[in-house]
Copies of this chain bind each other. A is one copy, B any other.
């Protein structure tokens, strides 16, 4: 009787350093397995969680959304507290809520936002070594910002996709992309923020690997537009390392009011 299964949504922050990514893999510590085990300890159910977007090994999340279906009668809010008492210290549940029965975290997403942090100081930052890309050359953040604006709007981003699961289409719409240098005392930090209706596999990391070529002065500001037009991964820069990448947010349409249980 499926109407007794409720859909619970968790908003999570996690430090991805010690995980082999979100998705369950044999004999690896993953966020999916960690979460499913924590839920099992609370409800006794062996179930499957689904993330709005899988993150790779070493990639972090500020507000990932994860859904699962449960027969538990626990109020949705109680999952936050109970899971935070059970999860390891590098994962935290920021919120838990109930969603309509037919809600799906991947299918219903209408937008996502990522952040990528680069440190171009001469001396590495030991305290954030797992949260940024320590880059060897000084970067011109203004040039990177201007160069990135050619990606705004709807384009075929095939050049920025690496060997991932095949997608129906490589066309995406970028709504905002900015590159900024932080003010002192964090003036060695260069941050990319990008928001789109969705992303291809490794898309943000290839974008960053392309923009640093402009930032260090070895490519012109017009080059990223040429890379885009080429529709060829080999034309783009390297895939930036995972630890600088943060899944910032996923957006959904306003959820309808919850149905009352029968």
Contact = CB atoms under 8 A, between A and B. Distances in A.
Interface in A50-96: 60, 84, 89-92, 94
Contacts of A123: 13, 84, 92, 94
A89 to B, nearest CB: 5
A26 B206 CA distance: 45
Interface residues of A, number: 16
A260 to B, nearest CB: 29
Contacts of A126: 13-15, 89-92
Contact of A15 (B60, B90, B127): B127
A129 B89 contact: yes
* Chief secondary structure at chain A's binding surface: mixed
B14 A90 contact: no
A123 B62 CA distance: 12
A220 B124 CA distance: 43
Contacts of A22: none
A131 interface: yes
A60 B13 CA distance: 24
Contacts of A124: 84, 89, 92
Contacts of A127: 13, 15, 60, 131
13 contacts: A13-B123, A13-B126, A14-B126, A15-B126, A15-B129, A84-B123, A84-B124, A89-B124, A89-B129, A90-B126, A91-B126, A92-B124, A92-B126
